A = this chain, B = another copy of it.
Amino acid sequence: MIGTIESIFRQISATMPDESFALRLWDGSERHYGPGAPRFTLTFTDESGVLDVVRRAQLGFGEAYVRGDLDVEGDFQLLLRFAFEEPVRQMHLGTQDKLRLVRSLLRDRKNNVMRARKNVAHHYDLGNDFYELWLDRTMTYSCAYWDEGCGEIEQAQEAKYEHICRKLELEPGERLVDIGCGWGGMLEYAAKYHGISGIGYTLSQEQYEFAQDRFAREGLEDMVEVRLQDYREARGKFDKFVSIGMFEHVGKEYFDTFFAKTRELLVPGGTGVLHTIGRDRENEIDPWVKKYIFPGGYLPSLGQLASGMGKTELCVTDVENLRLHYARTLDEWAKRFERHRERICRELGEHFYRMWRLYLHGSAVAFKWGEIRLFQITFTNGLRQDLPMTRAHLYN
């Protein structure tokens, strides 16, 4: 079995001749690849880790890493990047895992209000304390916008809000709906700096309470409110629409429902921004991420997004791909997360820490070298004749 891993490392080393890395086994023996000091050492503390990786590909790797049957010292992301190299792409899940995956995909076809609530709770109700540890002060858990001069993540998150506000051409007094409003960062920013009023929707109890407190603390209760409801339950008419990092949870069986609701919420000619992780071509989400991090998650291709919006008479005016911005955001989160290793291990357990560490670094690597993208799509509900002729207003 270890022969398979060695062969993969040899093949990858041949395609990355400048990189050095090492493999260490439970008996202390080591193999070195490449010309210099290893940038990482992958240690198998047990033969079962090897079996897991060889037989169950990325799912086995993830589970073995979380259990501690394998460990990585040094540049974790260089190892994770191997997932996008040919010899690893050719590895397959075992039959059992495949069956389990098919069952979970079938389950997703019923991403109804109840299941959506449960899926959201799985991820977002880990506790505000947990997210406050490593998110920045704005409590924003989505891709930042690293505009020139944004040294800190907090600035980059506010730059993201500003960028979206400009794409929405927000005017004081306008009504904005935020589907998947998280801890309320977007609504706070838009109310404070652009004078809008609006409603945010979240399914997370923890986020709901946080956003309520936040709006009260900032004296914005008369302008913005948050509701603990599913997007399908949203009502009313708004001048502007925004959804940031929520579409990933909708599920492809519900794309049409989401877009029909978007159209219903917007006045004719109203403008919206959909900010979502996506991909260039259709594919399922990584099975390890789906099982442990985002149950019910599905990442749309740009083609699926454009077709779905076109069918619903949502007219796309602008698409920006912020792939490298999410990679940098995730690098920043991983760094901040790792700084709190001790406390997270103590309060949530070592397995949890390792699971989230893998998720954060794995996602960064997937934006850098893999198949995932971040699309910011600006659209109008039907045609709008007074659109700005150029996008220069985003950059002044």
Give chain A's interface residues, CB within 8 Å of chain B.
145-148, 279-282, 301-311, 313-321, 323-325, 368-369, 373, 383, 385, 387, 389-392, 394-396
B280 near A309 (CB under 8 angstroms)?
Answer: yes
Chain B residue contacts of A302, Cβ below 8 A: 306-307, 310, 316
Give the chain B neighbours of A317 by CB distance below 8 A.
321
Given the interface pairs A148-B390, A319-B318, the reply to whether A369 lies near B395 with Cβ below 8 Å is: no
| Total identical chains | 2
B390 touches A395 (CB 8 A): yes
- Considering the chains assembled together, what is the distance between the CA atoms of A325 and B317 in angstroms? 12
A304: chain B residues within 8 A (beta carbon): 303, 307
Contact of A303 among B146, B307, B313, B389 (CB under 8 A): B307
List 7 A-B pairs, minimum CB-CB distance, nearest first: A303-B307, A280-B310, A319-B319, A281-B310, A302-B306, A303-B306, A395-B395
With contacts A301-B310, A319-B319, A320-B318 known, is A392 near B280, CB below 8 A?
Answer: no
- A346 CB → nearest B CB, Å: 37
Complex Cα–Cα for A68 and B57 (A): 71
Report how far A373 CA is from B280 CA in the complex, Å. Answer: 21
| Contact call A385/B373, Cβ cutoff below 8 A | no
B310 touches A279 (CB 8 A): yes
Contact of A387 among B280, B313, B324 (CB under 8 A): B324
CB distance from A141 to the nearest CB of B (A): 21
Closest B residue to A163 using CB positions: B390
Q: Which residues of B contact A321 (CB under 8 A)?
A: 315-318
Q: List 17 A-B contacts (CB under 8 A).
A: A147-B390, A148-B390, A280-B316, A282-B307, A301-B306, A301-B307, A302-B310, A303-B303, A303-B304, A303-B308, A315-B321, A320-B391, A323-B387, A324-B387, A324-B389, A391-B391, A395-B395
